[in-house]
Amino acid sequence: AQSVSQHNHHVILSEAASLELGCNYSYGGTVNLFWYVQYPGQHLQLLLKYFSGDPLVKGIKGFEAEFIKSKFSFNLRKPSVQWSDTAEYFCAVAKGGSTLGRLYFGRGTQLTVWP
């Protein structure tokens, strides 16, 4: 079965620090990759996604992620975090193809940014 691993469960940073959150998946075929963010009390919002093409994907709010197929990874990065980035971040994977199916989620990483 497909699995998604997020290695960091809780990350604490000061403002302006750089961020990298790891995500690895187990499926060997074509995949579609997503990062979602959940701010306290709010619903899941899409940060960025990769379907095909340039493996370096830019999303909203200055986030980017790099798909490295050989490493089965899709790590999320931001060069300088802000207090408002405090949230939970989920990596998710769907099998690739003409029709998207279900998403497989990682367990999430809680990011806390101190002002």
Q: Looking at beta carbons only, is 36 or 67 nearer to other proteins? A: 36
Residue 105, interface with other proteins (CB under 8 A)? yes
**Residue 93: what residue type?**
V
The least distance separating other proteins from the CB of residue 43, rounded to whole angstroms, comes to 4
- 52: contact with other proteins by CB under 8 A: no
Cβ atoms of 3 and 65 closer than 8 Å: no
Q: Which range, of 12-20, 22-30, 62-70, 103-111, touches other proteins by CB under 8 A?
A: 103-111
> What are the φ and ψ backbone dihedral angles of 61, each rounded to 5 degrees?
60, 30
DSSP state of 44: -
**In this chain, which of 90, 93, 111, 113 binds other proteins, going by CB under 8 A?**
90
Q: What gap in Å lies between CA 105 and CA 82, rounded to an integer?
A: 25
- Residue 55's closest CA among 70, 38, 39? 70
Please identify which residue in 49, 72, 73, 96 interacts with other proteins, judged by CB under 8 A.
49
- Position of tokens 């187990």? 26
Question: Interface residues with other proteins (CB under 8 A)?
Answer: 4, 34, 36, 42-44, 46, 49, 90, 98-103, 105-108
